[in-house]
Amino acid sequence: MAIIKKIRTRIYLAVEGEGEQSFVRLLQHFADQNNLYVYLDCKVLGGGGYNAMLRNALKSRKCMSKKRTKEKSSVLLVDEDRGQRREDGWSLTKLRQEAGKTGFHVCVQYPNQEGLLWRMLPDNENRRPDIRNVHRDLVKQWPEYKKPVDFYVLSKKFKLDDLLRVAKFDSEINNLLSTIGFR
């Protein structure tokens, strides 16, 4: 009798930094808890402007695809506030246009990762944090927060339900969760 080995569905996520990498590990943890047979293949891009991040994500995906099974989906996880700074001249609209041509879906954290984490705290899910005060507001409600946040800290603080609450008000997060298979 032959043994059938099921291969996990691979989703490639290119992220800005270590905090986002920890967030992807948290998503993987939630997926495993819910018996979703996915592998969230994460690459840290190290920041830069939108143009630079997309170029690095494309290069990394190409290299990884040679070694691994073909990804079902490719996601570029970025902060909204990076586009406001226009580090390399690209707006969020331009990033979405160019990413779409290459098969990448863009998932935006509003206004950044700290804003997403703040919204995951109770009673904040439908509020939009002010970029100038988001770090202060997050630390006010979560004094132990340190940047970059690691997976173990996130996994002790948040449950899938916290993220699902945010997804009801945030189409970007809702789409990300749908791509992974939570919806």
- Does the pLDDT at position 83 exceed 80? no
Q: Nearest CA to 115 among 105, 129, 133?
A: 129
Q: Is residue 132 part of a domain?
A: yes
Q: How confident is the model at residue 161 (pLDDT cuts 50, 70, 90)?
A: very high
Q: Which domain holds residue 131?
A: 9-180
Identify any residues that bridge with 39 across adjacent strands, giving them in sequence order: 10
- The CA-atom distances, in angstroms, between 9 and each of 73, 114, 180 are 9, 29, 9
Residues 78/107, Cβ–Cβ less than 8 Å: yes
One-letter identity of residue 110: Y
What is the pLDDT at residue 81? 87
* Residue 81 covered by a domain: yes
Reported as type and span, the H/E element at residue 109 is: strand 104-109
Which candidate, 17, 14, 26, 1, places its Cα nearest to that of 152?
Answer: 26
The pTM (predicted TM-score) of the whole model is: 0.93
Structure confidence at residue 86 (pLDDT):
65
pLDDT tens per residue, range 84-127: 666 778 999 999 999 999 999 999 999 999 999 999 999 999 99
Query: Residue 69: helix, strand or coil by DSSP?
Result: coil
Report yes or no on 159 lying in a domain. yes
Output the pLDDT for position 75: 98
Confidence check: pLDDT of 67 > 90: no
Whether 4 is covered by a domain: the verdict is no
In total, how many domains does the chain have?
1
In a domain, 49, yes or no: yes
Distance between CA atoms of residues 115 and 120, nearest Å: 9
Q: What is the mean pLDDT of residues 14-35?
A: 97
Q: Does 23 fall in a domain? A: yes
Averaged over 169-181, what is the pLDDT? 97
Examine the pLDDT at 151 and tell me if it is beyond 80.
Answer: yes
Q: Tell whether 140 is covered by a domain.
A: yes
Rounded to whole angstroms, how far apart are CA atoms 74 and 137?
32
Q: Tell me the C-alpha to C-alpha distance, in Å, between residue 17 and each of 76, 119, 122, 126.
A: 12, 19, 25, 25
The reply to whether 1 falls in a domain is no
Strands 9-15 and 38-44, sheet pairing: parallel
Residue 20 pLDDT class (50, 70, 90 cuts): very high
